[in-house]
Structure 1
């Protein structure tokens, strides 16, 4: 699965984690592993321009999704039999998301992970215009995010243990052998 991240926002973000949560959501939704996704992080003015142009709404927003291929019953990106497809683009605005993160009392990274999953679901045809659609989409979004966080935290813990073990082994190999007296 190809996931390209391009950060033009001027805000330092954990691009690897954004790619990881996007990949997790796509895998969990059984999207063809040959599918490609682009994630673009932009400044407030760029997002405001996109929001006005494509949604006819003023001001910036947190996330926008631009599907590349129309989803229909004959060709879906979640079918493993389909040829490679370009899912589309997710555009994130970290500066806008930072305000939402503060209001929700979590980190910018947490907010960007949530918005990435939200964007993926929009690319796959989910919407939240109606109450029943909102319940379905947000429930799925929360479930995917919770499972990714568990797996991500476990992977980080394994990496910390590996680094600690490697440091101990390097230190042990640098110590001179005991005196054979």
Structure 2
């Protein structure tokens, strides 16, 4: 599994922890071990540009996901085919504001957003109430099991 973490934000993060979280999520979702994923951390200027370009919405957002091979989760004993999962782009400045509002650390918010972004790459969405319930429950479970192991 190739997980590349590229921090262009200037915000200090533990890149190894992001890679470990991604590996945990992909293993739990039965994604092929030779699947590639990129995680980028960018400043608000870059995130604003991406947000306008891809979502036609102004200003920076917390996380964007850019799927490549449209891989989906596997099942126990039956992993997905190998491929390029895609890119998760995070904005630590936006995450820091959200973390303050939620009452936890920026690092925890960034890990939550990373999990959220990977689930989007795997086809999960939260546009409808039932989808949101499923995705957010899975997101919480994955993050809690990861945090319990560190």
TM-score where L is the length of structure 1: 0.78
Q: Which has the higher contact order (CA 8 A, sep 6+)?
A: 2
Q: After TM superposition, which residue ranges in structure 1, 4 or more long, deviate above 4 angstroms?
A: none
Say if 1:148 and 1:49 are closer, same or farther in 2 by CA, change over 3 A: same
Please report the RMSD computed on the Cα atoms of aligned residues, expressed in angstroms. 1.2
TM-score where L is the length of structure 2: 0.94
Measured after TM superposition, the shift of residue 81 of structure 1 is 6.2
- Corresponding position of 2:148: 150
> Do the aligned partners of 1:77 and 1:85 also contact (CA within 8 Å) in 2?
no
Bigger Rg, structure 1 or 2: 1
Unaligned runs of 5+ in 1: 153-181
> Do the aligned partners of 2:70 and 2:121 also contact (CA within 8 Å) in 1?
no
Between the aligned partners of 2:131 and 2:79, the Cα distance in structure 1 is 25
Between the aligned partners of 1:77 and 1:144, the Cα distance in structure 2 is 13
> Do the aligned partners of 1:5 and 1:39 also contact (CA within 8 Å) in 2?
yes
Alignment partner of 1:138 is 2:136 = yes
Say if 1:5 and 1:81 are closer, same or farther in 2 by CA, change over 3 A: closer
> Do the aligned partners of 1:35 and 1:77 also contact (CA within 8 Å) in 2?
no
Measured after TM superposition, the shift of residue 43 of structure 1 is 0.3
Identify, as 1 or 2, the structure richer in helix: 1
Count of aligned pairs:
147
Alignment partner of 1:24 is 2:55 = no
> Do the aligned partners of 2:4 and 2:38 also contact (CA within 8 Å) in 1?
yes
* Per-residue Cα deviation, 1:115-142 (whole angstroms, up to 9, x for no partner): 0000010000000001100000000000
